[in-house]
Structure 1
Amino acid sequence: MKLKKVGIALCLSASLLVLGACSTQKSVIKDVKVDFSGYNHEGKAKLSGKYYDEITEVMKKKEGMSASDILVKIDKSSGLSNGDKVKVSILSKLKKSPIKPESKTFTVSGLKKTTSYTIDDVLKQNSVKFVGFNHYGGVKDDYVFTVDSQKNSLSNGDKISVELDSDYISGQAEKGKVLKGSKTKNIEVSGLEETGNNNKLDSVLSEIDSEARDDYKSGNTTRQESYVLVGDQYHPEAVDEFSIFGVYKVNENDSIRYRIYGYSSLYLKNGKIDMSQSVFEKNFGYVGSTKYYDNSQEAVDHLKASNLQIIKIK
């Protein structure tokens, strides 16, 4: 009977030791606060309060332990709406932690009211800009929309799908503006320049003719063919940039040869040809000595070898 009483006493003592050990763990959950900011549906949560100071104070008294052994985590910190629940957990890397592992749930509140917009609203403020020539047009990048079509092959009347860029949508959300409805819409391509019977191109070709004649005042220089090259050799996707070149027959000293003359770095702006950055070229693709061709086709083949979109004018 006496042995049984001793056994019970030992068990009680062990239980008290365990309870004593557990009771020495410090609870800091009461010191954890959560600050909510931003707009409804796109709100953010941030931990605050004096919990870290409490953890540091306890851990610095323990040999071989530091505040970095304790983790305080929030299960969701963004994309929040008023009324949502977020859970804060206090965890430890230690088997015997002086900080009590526990958790607490907070209700999201105080987020500002959002406004909504549609893709049509965006199109009114940021209309999609089509640039280039008919059949060879493209969409000018404005970081608002992405398109699903071939960049350099649009024609007037084509239907293309435009989609609001994800960065644009998230950027607006941070300002409290939330997209309502679809982020895509079909629109019609329009406003691309025609190359046939285009007085704007003719005026540039006249300047090229004059330059070619000045080089051969003692001979006869005649333009055989004319071409628009869309893009440039280093940025072929730049559909708002183009060049105009002519293949010229040069009859000098009873010798017939062919040359390429033209302007590069031309731009279409507001329905006009901008030549402010243009470069007059006498040797397309060549530097140094003058390049002649035996026939016009050889010259045209050299233009086509540029890998640019090439359009015959006349």
Structure 2
Amino acid sequence: MDWDKLRIFHAVADAGSLTAAGDTLHLSQSAVSRQIRGLEEQLNTTLFHRHARGLILTEQGELLFDATRAMTKRLDAASARIRDSEEEVFGELRVTSTVGFGMLWLAPRLSRLYDRYPDLNLDLILEERVLDLPMREADVAIRMKEPAQADLVRKKLLSIRMALFATREYLDRHGAPEDERQIGQHRLICQHPNAIQVAAGAQLVQGLMTHGVPNVLWVNNYFGVGQAVVNHLGIGILPNYMAGDDPRLIRVLPEVESGEVPVFLAYPEELRSSKRVGAFRDFVTEEITAARRAGALDG
């Protein structure tokens, strides 16, 4: 099968337009159209439904687009490995993490990474969905559990626990609970039970709710919980690494915390020799070591 035709097909399917694909490929609309017709004749099938607003893939077109998308991701991975310098760290690195860890812990530290590697371009993908690393949805992942996918290099970074936090202003105004039962006298800020989250955090919320909490502020990620807490809205459930990262946060009832949550860094086996991946891995490891020495991390 003609790769050039497949490349043009992929661009058209991705753009949904002959004109847009032509602009991307620096080809005329008529040249793109001829290549698509030639591919359809070669495969003896129709790949696009054509209408005034653009192009829509047929069922056969969807099958071919899935294949070209996988091929493109593999080629991108190979290209990244080829471009990796022997001595320099540069280019794009796609890092995925949960919203909470990415915004509360990772993002505030990235200036030090950029100081060291000014030619590195990070694409930070923050979401709770587990991206497919072997399929190149991201290069590196930081996850709150050990990855189950095969062909991944994985490294345990640390263990965290979910704990209770409030601000001094809130505690001065409403009083600090002396034991877990007094949580029922405060507004609790936490992730909704139906939100994607670590099981240990959900279990802690479930246990605290047995104390008759009269008012709850539900948020769908820990960054939002943190913002609500620092604005004095109540007592929030946050990762324990926040104790050393934000001076506005005061640990409440230190004996009340969740079970351990392991944090793993993972990347595809094919990127084991990548200078970009190695630089990011080493940076995160060094930051965690420094936080431990400063007493801001437990495990």
Q: TM-score range by the shorter chain?
A: under 0.3
* TM-score, normalised with respect to structure 2: 0.27
Structure in which a larger fraction of residues adopt strand: 1
Larger RCO, structure (CA 8 Å, separation 6 or more): 2
Name whichever structure is richer in helix by fraction: 2
- TM-score of the two chains, using structure 1 as the length reference: 0.26
